[in-house]
């Protein structure tokens, strides 16, 4: 395993920055809102305080509580794998950016699960009466990171095929 270089510490710094923004935004919402309270910002966006004990789209939300530690262990395992990948492939900038966003998002949500027993969600987009499930900054990092990871793989496949 290579020694951590300056690039590695930069990636960890970016992940830590995402965790910080995520946690500060959640603290601001927790200080202002009661559970279920909503504030209309635009005709298609509200701030709302909800807790999600499950994963994306409330997967396993009603599982009885065991899922909290399952998702904590899963996120920590994925985080360890991501750190290994960042160390093993310092030259892969696009991949490392994607993995770093996933890392920061995963750790932001782990903090919630340990501190509150569930993930704090507050971004509520809606259109014509249909609401996208509420999410947070950490979820955004995970989603953008996953999309970038797929794009990176597609670009690498295209380069290898040429």
Angle between helix 6-32 and helix 93-116 axes, rounded to 10 deg:
40
Note whether 114 and 106 are within 8 A (CB).
Answer: no
| Residues ≥6 apart with Cβ < 8 Å to 118 | 51, 52, 53, 68, 112
104 near 144, Cβ under 8 Å? Answer: no
What gap in Å lies between CA 108 and CA 135, rounded to an integer?
12
**How much is the average pLDDT of 69-82?**
91
Alpha helices in the chain (DSSP H): 6-32, 66-88, 93-116, 137-161
List, edge to edge, every strand of the sheet that includes 38-42. Answer: 38-42, 45-52, 119-127, 130-131
Question: Are the C-beta atoms of residues 139 and 112 closer than 8 Å to each other?
Answer: no
Domain boundaries, the chain: 6-161
- In tens, the pLDDT along 25-72 reads 999 999 999 999 999 999 999 999 999 876 665 555 555 667 777 888
> Are residues 71 and 105 in contact, defined by beta-carbon separation less than 8 angstroms?
no
Summarised one tens digit per residue, pLDDT across range 13-26 is 999 999 999 999 99
**Residues with a known catalytic role:** 121, 139
Return d(Cα 162, Cα 151) in angstroms, integer: 17
Prediction pTM value: 0.88
């Amino acid at each position: 395993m290579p020694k951590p270089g300056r690039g590695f510490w930069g990636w960890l710094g970016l992940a830590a920055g995402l965790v910080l923004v995520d946690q500060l935004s959640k603290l601001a919402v927790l200080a202002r809102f009661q559970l279920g309270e909503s504030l209309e910002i635009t005709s298609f966006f509200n701030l709302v305080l909800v807790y999600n004990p499950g994963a994306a789209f409330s997967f396993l939300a009603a599982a009885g509580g065991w899922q909290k530690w399952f998702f904590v262990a899963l996120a920590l395992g994925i985080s360890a794998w991501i750190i290994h990948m960042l160390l093993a492939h310092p030259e892969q900038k696009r991949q490392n950016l994607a993995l770093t966003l996933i890392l920061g998002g995963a750790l932001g949500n782990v903090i919630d699960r340990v501190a509150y027993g569930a993930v704090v969600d507050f971004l509520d987009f809606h259109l014509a009466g249909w609401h996208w499930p509420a999410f947070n900054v950490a979820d955004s990092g995970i989603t953008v990171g996953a999309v970038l990871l797929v794009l990176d793989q597609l670009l690498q496949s295209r380069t290898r095929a040429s």
